[in-house]
Amino acid sequence: MDPKAYQEYVENVTPKVNGWLSFFKAFVSGGVICVIGQILCDGFKSAGLMHTLANNYTTLILILASVLLTGFNLVGPITKFAGAGYLVPITGFANSVASCAIEFKREGQVFGIGSQIFNIAGSVILYGIVTSWFFGFIYWILTSIGLV
């Protein structure tokens, strides 16, 4: 297939996306997840838990909810609407770990789940650590020379 015909084919099969609508949906849906998290955290604090413990329980519940949604195959319809609004917060990270575990469970505990569970999440962890190290180093330099 020549490059021009291939390009036409790609344009025909690529879904048309309204960028501003996608941004709005992601903003609203991500905001809804954050509001749910804040309601949970405030509820735990009003029940008498310390701030740190309330934050930990909130995180655990959001992760559990995401893993359950992944297990019941409900994340697809949610992300079709919400896009990055669901995938960027901790819910997306939990989904990436759970979906790999579900996908590779038939290969066994060690060679399936154990070796493949961070297939998607591994790059997030790697680049998150590298980026935090990089910006921490810049902060250390700026602090050393007295700019911060």
Tell me how many degrees the CA angle 11-15-17 measures, rounded to the nearest 5. 110
User: CA dihedral in degrees (129, 135, 137, 138; nearest 10)?
Assistant: 170
Q: What is the pLDDT of residues 39-63, one digit of tens each?
A: 999 999 999 999 999 999 999 999 9
User: CA 148, CA 140: separation in Å to the nearest integer?
Assistant: 9
How far apart (Å, rounded) are the C-alpha atoms in residues 21 and 137? 37
Residue 32: band (very low, low, confident or very high) from pLDDT cuts 50, 70, 90: very high
Model confidence, pTM: 0.71
Amino acid at site 24:
F
Q: Can you read off the two tokens belonging to residue 73?
A: 């195959």
Give the mean pLDDT of 61-75: 92
What does the pLDDT read at residue 99?
84
CA distances from 112 to 38, 119, 122, 124 (A): 36, 11, 15, 20
pLDDT digits (tens, 9 = 90+) for 99-139: 888 888 788 778 777 778 777 778 878 888 899 999 999 99
pLDDT class for 14, splitting at 50, 70, 90? confident
Mean pLDDT computed over every residue of the chain: 89
Mean pLDDT of the 26-34 span? 93
